[in-house]
Amino acid sequence: MDKPLNWGLLSTARINQALIRPLNASKRTRLLAVASRSLAAAEAYAREWKIPRAHGSYEALLADPEIDVIYNPLPNHLHAEWSVKALRAGKHVLCEKPIALTLADVDAMAQAAQESGKILAEAFMYRHHPQTLKVKEIVESGALGKLQLIKGAFTFTLTREGDIRLNKEMGGGSIWDVGCYPISYARTLAGAEALEAFGWQVAAPSGIDESFYGQIKFENGVYAQFDSGFKSPLRSRIEIVGTDGVLTVPEPFKPERTSEILLTRGDKTEKIKINGGMLYMGEVDDMCDAILHNKPPRVSLADSRSNVAVILALLESARSGKPAQVGGERKS
């Protein structure tokens, strides 16, 4: 039996709550510590969630010799800085999406991971979910025929004033927050690298995109279309179109414990039920497998880098009004 990996939460962000349950449920993990910018806040959070240790600074958590893995849920613009610091402190890192906001930052993070010999992975929970694995299996089986188009949407109405997702300097904007999901989903299924992107955005007064509408062309002739936004009703959906069939995924990014996908061929629609288990457990298990058994993380750093490259191309297209090449030398 492996000795449990000790995890530390880098801040008291709300998204932590998604990880706390699987970390407590897994026999391979122990949630040992949480850090905040003040000791009082860290101690209050630790009491609330029954976390044994509280640190009054992020640096103190990274200096804790008993911590093996850092979960980094900080605002987007801090992902690169603190992930690199954690890696250089000898910690493995599960970093919230988007992993970074520039290709240079992704490369710096990858270099720190390589030099430290530690695991760095981006926290795209849906990628580890049985529903996504089943969708990928169906597409790759040829049941849809030749893949043509992947359509996706992820929108909700953001009403909270002062939310960091509205702050351009902190990496705000709908494409970074929710648009990254349908982009990642399309890339996961396309079977080739993205070649070209075209995007339109509706900008908020702060300069972030509050709605984004994008198209992506892949090297093998597959296309993707998506929209993301903070000003529309809650929508979360993927449709995969092939020459012989259509696969519809009503809840692609955060499925229920038991979910359902729809496979339509001709005039027949088959409902396929999937038992998903605890939502974020796959993400935790993947990290444990990588650290304890040298298994490559399902979301590789090359994969994460390509997702950032597509988002940057879409934003460039929206600025210029022209198609943009998906740039940056691809690194493994």
Q: Tens digit of pLDDT for each residue in 169-220?
A: 999 999 999 999 999 999 999 999 999 999 999 999 999 999 999 999 999 9
Q: Tens digit of pLDDT for each residue in 271-291?
A: 999 998 899 999 999 999 999
Beta carbons within 10 angstroms of residue 180's beta carbon: 24
pLDDT at 162: 85
CA–CA gap between residue 311 and residue 102 (Å, rounded): 10
CA–CA gap between residue 205 and residue 127 (Å, rounded): 34
pLDDT at 118: 98
pLDDT at 161: 83
Q: Tens digit of pLDDT for each residue in 226-269?
A: 999 999 999 999 999 999 999 999 999 999 888 999 999 999 99
Band of residue 101 on the pLDDT scale cut at 50, 70, 90: very high
pLDDT at 151: 98
CATH architecture for the domain at 127-282+308-325: 2-Layer Sandwich (3.30)
**Closest alpha carbon to 153 in 195, 173, 190, 183:** 183
Asked if 46 and 142 touch (Cβ cutoff 8 Å), the reply is no
Cis peptide bond upstream of 130, omega within 30: no
Rounded mean pLDDT of 114-125? 98
Beta strand segments in the chain, E: 5-10, 29-35, 53-55, 69-72, 92-96, 120-123, 147-157, 194-203, 209-218, 223-229, 231-242, 246-249, 258-265, 268-275, 324-325
Q: In the chain, what is the greatest distance between 2 CA atoms, to the nearest angstrom?
A: 62
Domain residue extents for the chain: 5-123, 127-282+308-325
> Containing H/E element for 45?
helix 39-49
pLDDT at 160: 87
The answer, yes or no, to whether residue 15 has pLDDT greater than 80, is yes
pTM value is 0.96
**Closest alpha carbon to 106 in 305, 262, 288:** 305
Rounded mean pLDDT of 19-36? 98
Token output for 186: 């399309």
CATH H superfamily, domain 5-123: NAD(P)-binding Rossmann-like Domain (3.40.50.720)
Q: Where do runs of H (alpha helix) occur along 130-256? A: 130-141, 174, 180-190
The answer, yes or no, to whether residue 328 has pLDDT greater than 70, is no
> Containing H/E element for 80?
helix 79-88
CA–CA gap between residue 281 and residue 73 (Å, rounded): 17
Beta carbons within 10 angstroms of residue 261's beta carbon: 23
Q: Tens digit of pLDDT for each residue in 2-14?
A: 689 999 999 999 9
CA–CA gap between residue 330 and residue 321 (Å, rounded): 25
Q: Tens digit of pLDDT for each residue in 137-159?
A: 999 999 999 999 999 999 999 99
CA–CA gap between residue 235 and residue 142 (Å, rounded): 28
Band of residue 329 on the pLDDT scale cut at 50, 70, 90: very low
